[in-house]
Structure 1
Amino acid sequence: MPPKSKAPQKGKAPAKRKLAEEFSPGEVLTDTFKKQWKLGHPVGKGGFGMLYLAHENSPKPVGSDAPFVIKVEPSENGPLFSELKFYMRAAKPDLITNWVKSKKLKYLGVPKYWGSGLYEKGGKRYRFMVMDRFGKDLQKIFEENDRQFARKTVLQLGLRILDTLEYIHEHEYVHADIKASNLLLDYKNPNQVYLVDYGLAYRYSPDGVHKEYKEDPKRCHDGTIEFTSIDAHCGVYPSRRSDLEILGYCMIQWLCGKLPWEKNLKDPCYVRDYKVKSRENLSVFMEECFSEGDKPNELIKYMQEVRSLEYNDKPSYQKLRNILLEGLKSFKAKDDDKLDFSVLSVNKISRSPKKKTQKKISLKTETPDDELDAPPSKKVRTSSLKKEENGIKEKTSATSKKKLMETSTQTSPGISKSGRGRGRGRGKPRKT
C-alpha cells in the first residue's frame, strides 16, 4: 500500500446544517413518480433529518405496523442528497430482485428505494426518500450483550455483509461507513441484516473506470474513526479494499469487545498509525485483541487477504466467504441463516485478560496542527465512547469502621452502600 500521509492541513469549519422541522402525522408527500405517501409518527431524529413511519396514501391513518419509512431533511443539507444518488442508481427493487435470483441468495441486505422528491411547507423546501422499514440496530444489541457477539454470529454477519458489499461494489459504489449502528435487522425477520446509511457512499468506478490513488489532506480520516480504513486516514477516496478492511475491524471488535486504538480516538493520527502498525504485524495485533490460544484464525486469514489487495484490485468475495465458512467448520458450526444474539451463547471467544501494565506499540504519533476542511457530508464520525470506572478500595481501620457504624443512623436512606453512582458518557457504561 502507498505510504502514510502527512498531518491534515487547517481549513474552514464546515457549514452548519439546518435542523429538520417535525411534521404532523397525516401529511402527504408526492414523489417524482407522482405517487403519494402519508406520514405517520416520527421514529427517529438525527442532527439534521427526521425519520417517519409511512404508507401509501389512503383515508386511514398510518399505523404502528407501517411497512415503510420516509427520511426527510432540509434541501440545503447534503447527506440525504448523497444517499439518493446511490439509491437511485443501485437500489431499485428490480435490480436487487434480479441480483438475488442470479446469485441464488435468500435475500440481499440492501434497502430498496421506493421513491423520493421535494416537499415545500411554510416557504421551506425539504428533500425526502421512501425506504423499507427496519428493526433494531446491531449497536444496541452489542451493548445489551456486554459488547460481545458469539463467534458463529460474527462469522454469519460477515458472510451476509460480504454478499451486500459484492452487490454494492459491482454497481460502482463503496459504502465507506460499515459499523454496527448502520446494520439493522429486518422489521419482521430478525435473522436478516441490512446495511443502511449511504451518506458517505462513493462512486469509486464511474462507467467502469476506477479512480486513481491520490492523497488529499483535506479528506484525512473520513468515516467513523474506530473502523475507517487506512486509505481514508490518508485522505484517499475509498475503494473496495477499504470496505473490506472496515468490515474486518468490525468483526474483530464484535468478538473481543474493543479495538486497541479505541483508548485514544480523539487523536486520528494516533489511530491511523496504530492501524498501519497492526497491518504490518497481524499476529501481534490479534494477540492484543484476544487472549493467548483463542485468536480466531479465520479473521487473521481474512485480514491477510485484505492486506494483499492493491487499491484498484477486485476482491475475490468467494475466497473471503470461504475463509469465514472454514472458520465455522473449525468449531463444528454451520451457516444456518439464524442469527443468535443471546448473551449465554456457548460459542463465544475469550477476551484478552486485563493487565495492570500494558505493553504499548511504538508509534510515531503526529498531532494535527489544524482542523479538517471537509464538506458536511464527509464529517468525521465517532462512535459513543464508553467510560469504564474502576472502584478504588480503601483500607479502613477497625476504629474507623466502629465510628462509621456509630454514625450510620444519620445517613440518608436514599444513599447506596458505596456512596457513589456510575458516571455516564454518551452511552451506557460497559460492564466490567
Structure 2
Amino acid sequence: MPPKSKAGGAKKARAPAKRKLAEEFPPGEVLTDNAKKTWKLGSPVGQGGFGLLYLANEDSSGSVGAGEPYVIKVEPSENGPLFSELKFYMRAAKPDLIGAWMKSRKMDYLGVPKYWGSGFHEKGGKRYRFMVMDRFGTDLQKKFEGNEKKFPRKLVLQLGLRLLDILEYIHDHEYVHADIKASNLLLSYTKPNQVYLVDYGLAYRYSPEGVPKEYKEDPKRCHDGTIEFTSIDAHKGVAPSRRGDLEIMGYCMIQWLCGRLPWEDKLQDPLYVRDSKLRCRDNIDEFLKSCFPSENIPEEMKKFMQEVKALGYTDKPDYAKLRGILQQGLKTIGATDDKKLDFDVSTNDAGPPSVKVRVTFSRTSKNVNGAKKTASPAKRPAKKEAQASSEPAVKKSRGRPKKNS
C-alpha cells in the first residue's frame, strides 16, 4: 500500500477484506467436478494471495507427471476472484464454443484458455472451489524484462493481431477483459508461437443478453485495473467497455515498442496517471513524440490510437480495420505475419529504443497519496484510499496467482 499522506487531513484508509489462503493438498488428491469427472492433483506450480495452482491429469488411476497439459486453480469457497473468473469461463470459454468460432473463421488457434471443468472439494471440514484449465508456459512480462524492456516491432504488431482475434471473440460473447498486460499473456506450453490472454478476474459482462450497459461514473470503481495501462473510463469509475480494452491494448503495444510510458514515473498517484492519459488522448501526436523522442513515430500506432479515440462507449469496434492498420505496419518494415513469435531484437525491426522521458503538462495533479516519485511499476493503487479532496477513492489490486509454467 502506498504511504498515507500526512498533510491535508486524509482519512484513514479502510483495510481490504481478508481472504483465506488455500491449504496445500498432497500429490494424488482427487477432485470431482460438477460433471462427475475426476481429476488428480500433482505438485503445486503457482501460488497467489488466495489460492494455489496444481498440475493435474484426468486419469485418476495414474500418477501426475511433470508434462501434464492441465492445471487446476483451487481457492477457499468464501473467496471471490476465482468465482468471478468462472462466470466468464463457463459462459464464453467452453471448448465447443471456441472450436466453432475458430472453424467459422478458418483460424489455426484462438488465444483464449479453454474451460475444462469446475466444482467444489471438501477436506478437513473446509470447502474449496476449483477450476480446470489449460497449462501454459512463460508470460510475456518475463520475456519483456529479459529483452531489456524492448520487443521487436514485428513481434509487437503480431501480438496486436493475436489480441484483436482474442478481443473480438470475448467481446462477441458479451465480455470485456479489462486487464490486458504482458504478465497476463502466456505462451502455450507446447507451441511457443501461440500466445494466450489469461486472468479473467476483472472480466466484465458489458452486454448481458445483448444489451450494452450505459456509461455511468461510479466513484467506488475509480482507477480499477492495472494503473499504468488501465483505460480513462476506468480511471473515472466507468465500467469496462470494448473501447477500454483497445485503449489498454494500445498502451501495452506502445510500451513494448519504446520501453516506457510517460506516466510511469508516478504510478502511485492515480490522479496524475489519469490526467496524463487524458492529455495524451487529446493530443496523440505529442503523446507519441514523448514516447519516441529520437526516432520516427510508428504510423500504425498513431492510426490505432486515433481509431480508439473515435469510439463511443457502446460502439462496436471495427476489428477488420484495426487489423488492417497493424498489417500495414508490418508492410512498412518489409515483414509479414508469418505466425512466428521472434523475440530476438537483432533479427528484425525492433522499433525505437527505450528512452526514459517525462511529459510536462501545464497543470499537474497533486500526489494525493503522498508517495515519492518512483520508476518502479505498481500493479494497482490501494483500495478506497480516502482522499482529502472530493476526488474518488482508489482501488487496490487483488492478489493474483503466479502464472503456471
Equivalence for 2:225: 223
Instruction: Report whether the alignment pairs 1:114 with 2:116.
Output: yes
CA shift for structure 1 position 344: 2.5
Q: Distance in 2 between matches of 1:335 and 1:63?
A: 36
Give the SS at the match of 1:40. strand
Output the TM-score relative to the length of structure 2: 0.88
Write the letter of the residue equivalent to 1:365.
Answer: S
Write the letter of the residue equivalent to 1:303.
Answer: M
CA shift for structure 1 position 18: 1.1
Aligned partner (choices 280, 286, 289) of residue 287 of structure 1: 289
Q: Distance in 2 between matches of 1:82 and 1:171?
A: 16
Would the alpha carbon gap of residues 130 and 381 (structure 1) be closer, same or farther in structure 2, given more than 3 Å must change?
A: same
Write the letter of the residue equivalent to 2:340.
Answer: K
Write the letter of the residue equivalent to 1:285.
Answer: F
Q: Distance in 2 between matches of 1:279 and 1:255?
A: 18
Give the SS at the match of 2:201. coil
Equivalence for 1:380: 396
Instruction: Report whether the alignment pairs 1:256 with 2:258.
Output: yes
Deviations 1:214-241 (A, max 9, x none): 1011100000001000000000000100
Are the aligned partners of 1:225 and 1:380 in contact in 2 as well (CA < 8 Å)? no
Equivalence for 2:353: 351
Would the alpha carbon gap of residues 54 and 354 (structure 1) be closer, same or farther in structure 2, given more than 3 Å must change?
A: closer
Equivalence for 2:361: 361
Which runs of structure 2 are paired with 1:89-168 in the superposition (5 Å)?
89-168=91-170
Equivalence for 2:315: 313
Question: What is the alpha-carbon root mean square deviation over aligned residues?
Answer: 2.1
Q: Distance in 2 between matches of 1:97 and 1:232?
A: 32
Would the alpha carbon gap of residues 23 and 350 (structure 1) be closer, same or farther in structure 2, given more than 3 Å must change?
A: same
Q: Distance in 2 between matches of 1:164 and 1:62?
A: 31
Q: Distance in 2 between matches of 1:102 and 1:134?
A: 25
Q: Distance in 1 between matches of 2:168 and 2:295?
A: 32
Write the letter of the residue equivalent to 2:53.
Answer: L
In terms of mean alpha carbon deviation, does 56-65 or 45-54 score higher? 56-65
Q: Distance in 2 between matches of 1:126 and 1:133?
A: 21
Are the aligned partners of 1:218 and 1:372 in contact in 2 as well (CA < 8 Å)? no
Equivalence for 1:400: none
Percent identity for Structure 1 against Structure 2: 68
Are the aligned partners of 1:186 and 1:192 in contact in 2 as well (CA < 8 Å)? yes
Deviations 1:81-122 (A, max 9, x none): 000000000000000000001111111000000000011111
Equivalence for 1:85: 87
CA shift for structure 1 position 19: 1.2
Would the alpha carbon gap of residues 143 and 353 (structure 1) be closer, same or farther in structure 2, given more than 3 Å must change?
A: closer
Give the SS at the match of 1:128. strand
Query: Quick one: higher RCO (CA 8 Å, sep 6+), 1 or 2?
Result: 2
Q: Distance in 2 between matches of 1:78 and 1:368?
A: 29
- Bigger Cα Rg: 1
Equivalence for 2:247: 245
Write the letter of the residue equivalent to 2:119.
Answer: G
Are the aligned partners of 1:134 and 1:187 in contact in 2 as well (CA < 8 Å)? yes
Give the SS at the match of 2:46. strand
Q: Distance in 2 between matches of 1:379 and 1:71?
A: 25
